[in-house]
Chain A
Amino acid sequence: MKTYIIKKLFIAILTVIGVITVTFLLLYLSGDPVATILPPEASAADIEEFREKMGFNQPIIVQWAQFFGQVAQFDFGESYISKQPVIALISDRAPASLILTAAGFLVSIAIAIPLGVISAIKRFSIIDNIVTLFALLGQAMPIYWLGILLVILFGLRLGWLPISGNDTPKHLILPAITLGVSLIPIVMRMTRSAMNDVLEQDYIRTAKAFGISKASIFVKYGLKNAILPVIAVVFVQAGTLLSGAVVTETVFAWPGLGRLATTAILAGDYPLVRALVILSTVFVVFANLMGDILIAKLDARIRFN
């Protein structure tokens, strides 16, 4: 188990280093943001002076090394736009994002796993077909569009729910559903196929022969074994959830990190963009790592392979 975790950890660290380098290169290639930072009065000489001050005219390898050194010390610099430390801006927004992501995650699990189990038990029945169709729809529907539709229906027409913002718990409902729906199809299909595999196993037949109640068979022997690959998928989907959050936050004016990232990119606020890309990479890599470790812990076959 230890060697397995160390191996996975090593790969995770390599991935993070790779992403930091790619982030640096992409921002380097997209040029320096001087034009948007300086006022219109700035002359060509002002621009040159500013470039020098910011270190934009040093050789690429020097800039890369400096960048890497700063990241290693969690020094992400100051936002060009807010003139405040990037870390402060991010920690201000992180709670809102965490709440939304967690809520979206719960919504998708709460809907997808029961649906997946039902459709596995009632395989090829009408219910199964309807559920599959629902999954297909969910997969095909852009989050953006769904969010706006929900706003029009529940916010504007019916007036039941607030349209945007995050003042009260009530404000969480529409964004959580919007974000959750994007994850439902894949979790549900995964649950269904995993459950199908398990239900065909010999020990299920044996359990049936022993006369154990159906509910007990499905939950205790079925779902418990089928849940493994589902967990793996859920953790791997952390990235999907994160990118979904960017869109969801924009639609619902939810003051989270996704929104911060969008505005930072559009404004050419590079220190902020860099920090956000790196942190979200760390988050996704860490989630994957957790998924791997969890599976290994639950399943001896993987651990010793």
Chain B
Amino acid sequence: MKQKTVIANRFLLGLITLATILIFTTPAFSKDSITVALGTRLGSLDGWNTAAMVDWTVCNQIYDSLYILDPTTFRPKPNLAVSHKMLDDYTWQIKLRKGVKFHNGESFDAHSVKFSFERVLDPERKLYNQVKWSKVIEKIDVIDDFTIQIKTKKPYVVLIENLATLDTGMVPPNYIREKGDSYFSSHPVGTGPYKFASWKQGDRVELVANENYWNGIPKIKKATFRIIPEASISTAELIAGGVDVVGRMRSEQVRTVKKSKTAKVLSVLSNRGHFIQFDSIGRAGKSPFQNIKVRQAVYHAINRPAIIKMVLEGYGKDLNGPLSSTYFGFDPSVADLEPQYNPEKAKKLLAEAGYPDGFNAQLSVYEQKSVYEAVQGFLSKVGINTKLNWYGADLSTLVQLRNSGKVKDMGAYSWGSVVYDPDYFLPYWFGMDSARNYMKDQEISDWLAEAGREFDEAKRKKLYRKVQIKIIENAFWVPVFNEKALYGVNKKLNLVALGEFPQLRSCSWQD
């Protein structure tokens, strides 16, 4: 017995010593760096070859596009381009910035732009955005070292808008020819404010400031992106000072951060709108929602301002019609046409539609569960007993069901993008050839196609107004709310963000 105690004591002593050694090795806090928490694994750091927001969050610091969004007007302004003019409806001539260098020393010029686009167009390379650009670009020519000419396959009104996105960062031709696409996607080189330093798979990506950046050297010299999947853990890290920025916070995180002494909440208007799509044509089988009165009844039944105030605690904005207010062509007057909260009227409409006692329905949801639980409550008050089909983080299953026409009654989705133009949104939901289309309205589809070809801004606005009005009048969708991007931020950090994407170049630490 005695011998045993001795062994146990030694063991314990050893453990304590080990623990003590380990505990006193914390690195000192340095204000020269910034750490951003990301919720999911990074896939590819080749911006042209990914669809994931996390990837773009990092790419955004490494690459420069030809154009960039103005954070106040949400319209594109020149970046690596300096100016452009249209020679005809199909031909765009773009002048490029001189004296810009890639992180590896290659010079940026017209040949880099040509290579960047021809790379994505090459079907052999199988880049994610090949489908998108091969529908747009006919060919791209070098006029001189700093002038290029883009020929489009169709009159493409929103070309410049699409050259301002995070997935069109200019890439270095020689580097990629030498190393290949696969190596490039894990060792990216761009012209942007930060240079890639290292990537520890599943854990972190580290960037360092580009001291030769053409548009001002970043104040913060080192940027780290850490992957922390569990929301409560990233919040804990934020409060403890382990990370400085947590993006897309949920309401329970917001509450914790608000109470803390070390972190604050920053809300930035995003163009992401959340909406309920009805199966207006019975694509997934006969549905009460094929009746317009039933759809209007749902519009009347949901108290949307209350959801924003109570469920989202004010961190949301009214969404009127399909477009959020930062979109080109959003018409504030459509708000007056929307059915307002009026449960009595909803019941009346349901009775007229032949459902005086209500009915059972389904609502498929994959995010913002508490919002749709509130919706469920509002619907039950007017007699629509709604079953919530919760897909949690399993978006891919719901997307697959939706695109194959199997989402019954109602589906709740959201759309946010880096192109603030309806052409990069509505056609994918209302175009006749879209897999997402649950209303099959030829007229809307035609107007959208026309607006995509029309160069006259006033005429485009008119077309989009007609689209917004028709969607509201037919109640194809019920817009629920316009999301605000919620960041948890270290109290001493001045964070600058464009919607859901932090712009580290403009961030700084307070003294």
Chain A interface (Cβ within 8 Å of chain B)? 30-31, 33-36, 38-44, 46-47, 79, 81-84, 89, 92-93, 96, 110, 114, 148, 151-152, 155-156, 159-166, 168-170, 173, 214-215, 218-219, 250-253, 255-256, 259-260, 262-263, 266-268
Query: Are A253 and B435 in contact, CB atoms less than 8 angstroms apart?
Result: no
Q: List A contacts of B327 (CB < 8 A).
A: none
Task: Offer 29 A-B interface pairs, CB within 8 angstroms, sorted by A.
Answer: A35-B399, A39-B128, A41-B428, A42-B131, A44-B435, A46-B131, A83-B44, A83-B49, A84-B182, A84-B186, A114-B8, A152-B236, A159-B240, A163-B236, A164-B226, A164-B237, A165-B242, A169-B22, A215-B3, A251-B230, A251-B233, A252-B233, A253-B203, A255-B201, A259-B202, A266-B394, A266-B396, A267-B396, A268-B396
Cβ 8 A contact of B428, one of A40, A148, A218: A40
B52 at the interface (CB under 8 A from A): yes
A164 touching B233 in the complex, CB below 8 Å, given contacts A39-B128, A44-B433, A92-B202 = yes
Question: In this complex, what residue of B is CB-closest to A50?
Answer: B131
Question: In this complex, what residue of A is CB-closest to B399?
Answer: A35
Question: In this complex, what residue of A is CB-closest to B49?
Answer: A83
Cβ 8 A contact of B202, one of A79, A93, A110, A168: A93
Alpha-carbon distance between A39 and B395 when the two chains are bound, in angstroms = 14
A83 touching B185 in the complex, CB below 8 Å, given contacts A163-B236, A266-B394, A267-B396 = yes
Q: List B contacts of A251 (CB < 8 A).
A: 230, 233
Contact flags (1/0) for B208-241 with A, using CB distance below 8 Å? Answer: 0000000000000000001111101110110110
Q: List A contacts of B11 (CB < 8 A).
A: 110
B200 at the interface (CB under 8 A from A): yes
Query: Are B201 and A156 in contact, CB atoms less than 8 angstroms apart?
Result: no
A263 touching B203 in the complex, CB below 8 Å, given contacts A39-B131, A84-B186, A173-B19 = no
A36 touching B396 in the complex, CB below 8 Å, given contacts A170-B23, A173-B19, A250-B230 = yes
Q: List B contacts of A33 (CB < 8 A).
A: 396, 400
Tell me the smallest distance from the CB of A116 to a CB of chain B, in Å.
14
Query: Are A215 and B2 in contact, CB atoms less than 8 angstroms apart?
Result: yes
B177 at the interface (CB under 8 A from A): no
Chain B interface (Cβ within 8 Å of chain A)? 1-4, 8, 11, 19, 22-23, 25-26, 40-41, 43-44, 46, 49-52, 128-129, 131-132, 135, 181-182, 185-186, 200-204, 226-230, 232-234, 236-237, 239-240, 242, 393-397, 399-400, 402-404, 428, 433-435
Query: Are A47 and B240 in contact, CB atoms less than 8 angstroms apart?
Result: no
Q: List B contacts of A162 (CB < 8 A).
A: 26, 242
Q: List B contacts of A166 (CB < 8 A).
A: 203
Query: Are A164 and B228 in contact, CB atoms less than 8 angstroms apart?
Result: yes
Cβ 8 A contact of A255, one of B4, B46, B227: B227
Alpha-carbon distance between A170 and B403 when the two chains are bound, in angstroms = 47
Closest 5 CB pairs of A and B: A255-B202, A255-B203, A268-B396, A81-B43, A170-B22
Tell me the smallest distance from the CB of B273 to a CB of chain A, in Å.
15
Alpha-carbon distance between A268 and B22 when the two chains are bound, in angstroms = 39
Most buried by B among A41, A84, A114: A41
Alpha-carbon distance between A178 and B436 when the two chains are bound, in angstroms = 44
Question: In this complex, what residue of A is CB-closest to B6?
Answer: A215
Query: Are A82 and B43 in contact, CB atoms less than 8 angstroms apart?
Result: yes
Question: In this complex, what residue of A is CB-closest to B55?
Answer: A81
Query: Are B23 and A161 in contact, CB atoms less than 8 angstroms apart?
Result: yes
A35 touching B396 in the complex, CB below 8 Å, given contacts A215-B4, A250-B230 = yes
Cβ 8 A contact of A160, one of B2, B23, B43: B23
Alpha-carbon distance between A170 and B40 when the two chains are bound, in angstroms = 24
Tell me the smallest distance from the CB of A48 to a CB of chain B, in Å.
11
Query: Are B229 and A39 in contact, CB atoms less than 8 angstroms apart?
Result: no
Question: In this complex, what residue of B is CB-closest to A152?
Answer: B236
A31 touching B203 in the complex, CB below 8 Å, given contacts A44-B433, A253-B230 = no
Q: List B contacts of A35 (CB < 8 A).
A: 396, 399-400, 402-404, 435
